[in-house]
Structure 1
Amino acid sequence: MAITGPIEDQLAIRALHDNYADAVFRRDAADWGALWADDAVWDLAGTIVNGKDAIVGLWTGAMSTFAFVGFFQQTAAIVIDGDTATGRVYTNETLEDQEGNLRRSIGRYEDTYVRRGGTWLYQSRSFSVLKGYS
């Protein structure tokens, strides 16, 4: 897989990823949730959640368990086909729980995107941890 398709769509999907990371750092559920299609699917390391409202609910609950979350991502692939696309993103996270314990992980998202109303959204994200550290 490579990065292919119209440059304006490539940039819009990269902005989608950047907005995702920014919303995670800011813990902004409204901004984070706005990046998902209403009928999206999130596979979070084997926990599969259907629909934007359920996805945001799971994320909000998970985020409440952390005192700090640092989230960095690198776009590795985007393949655009009209109003749909696929992609891959690598992540580097630092998580601090409420007791001050740190965990780090390197992960990968396999994504599908959909353009609705002129805006690119996550249609599905499948996350897997590649390496975890305590």
Structure 2
Amino acid sequence: MSMPNSDRLIARLVDEAAIRDATARFADAGTFGDYDAFRDLWAEGGVWTIGKPFEARAEGPDDIVAMFKKLKEPKEFFVQFAFQGPIVIDGDTARARTLVHEEGRGPGDTGFRCHSVTNDLLRRTGDRWLFVRRDFQYIWLDTANFAGDVFKVSPAV
């Protein structure tokens, strides 16, 4: 027996909201350096890749968090803005694309700004969606130094 159209629509909207939440939590954990929250976003055996010019790859939540720490810890500050693109759900798997803007500074006066895109594969686990694969590709990258003051903020929800 199939679900009525309204039930299918509600189920799809709930799944899309959960996937958007995973994307938002990724950006939030990245910005605030919350390694535990970052780890909780990944399925066992998950893969995270970063394309040219850096060419980085990590597999499994522990390796992924180690790569994240290596990227995050030298930064005086880092912020990621994520704009969810299309989501295609097929049962308990989903493909999604996210447009990303990042800025960071450090170590020292080094800095970067970028626009990029992620191509994501997610899997439903209970009532959550976890990243199985997240491929990060740069569209534009500026590594010129930039000025400005850095202020310590604490996340509040």
Which residue among 118, 121, 131 is the counterpart of 1:112? 121
The one of the two structures with greater contact order (alpha-carbon pairs below 8 A, sep at least 6) is 1
Which residue among 29, 35, 38 is the counterpart of 2:41? 35
What's the offset of the Cα at 1:56?
0.6
Say what the alpha-carbon RMSD is for the aligned residues.
1.4
Q: Secondary structure at the match of 1:16?
A: helix
Alignment pair present for 1:6 and 2:12: yes
What's the offset of the Cα at 1:117?
2.4
Q: For 1:54-133, list aligned pairs within 5 A.
A: 54-133=63-142
Q: Is the CA contact (8 Å cut-off) linking 1:67 and 1:100 kept in structure 2? A: no
Bigger Cα displacement from structure 2, 96-105 vs 76-85: 96-105
Runs of at least 5 residues in structure 1 that lack an aligned partner in the other structure: none
Once the two structures are superposed, what CA deviation does each residue of 1:80-114 show, in whole Å capped at 9, x if it has no partner?
Answer: 01110001001000010121332101111000000
C-alpha distance in 2, partners of 1:125/1:111?
A: 5
C-alpha distance in 1, partners of 2:14/2:133?
A: 21
C-alpha distance in 1, partners of 2:89/2:28?
A: 24
Q: Which runs of 4+ in 1 moved over 6 A?
A: none
* Number of positions where the alignment pairs a residue of Structure 1 with one of Structure 2: 131
Q: Percent identity?
A: 28
C-alpha distance in 2, partners of 1:117/1:106?
A: 33
Once the two structures are superposed, what CA deviation does each residue of 1:50-107 show, in whole Å capped at 9, x if it has no partner?
Answer: 1111011110111111110010011111000111000100100001012133210111
Q: Secondary structure at the match of 1:66?
A: coil
Q: Which residue of 1 aligns with 2:32?
A: 26
2:124 counterpart letter in structure 1 = R
C-alpha distance in 2, partners of 1:104/1:56?
A: 22
Q: Is the CA contact (8 Å cut-off) linking 1:38 and 1:53 kept in structure 2? A: no
Once the two structures are superposed, what CA deviation does each residue of 1:103-129 show, in whole Å capped at 9, x if it has no partner?
Answer: 101111000000112210001000111
C-alpha distance in 2, partners of 1:22/1:51?
A: 20
TM-score normalised by structure 2 residue count: 0.79
Q: Which is greater in Rg?
A: 2
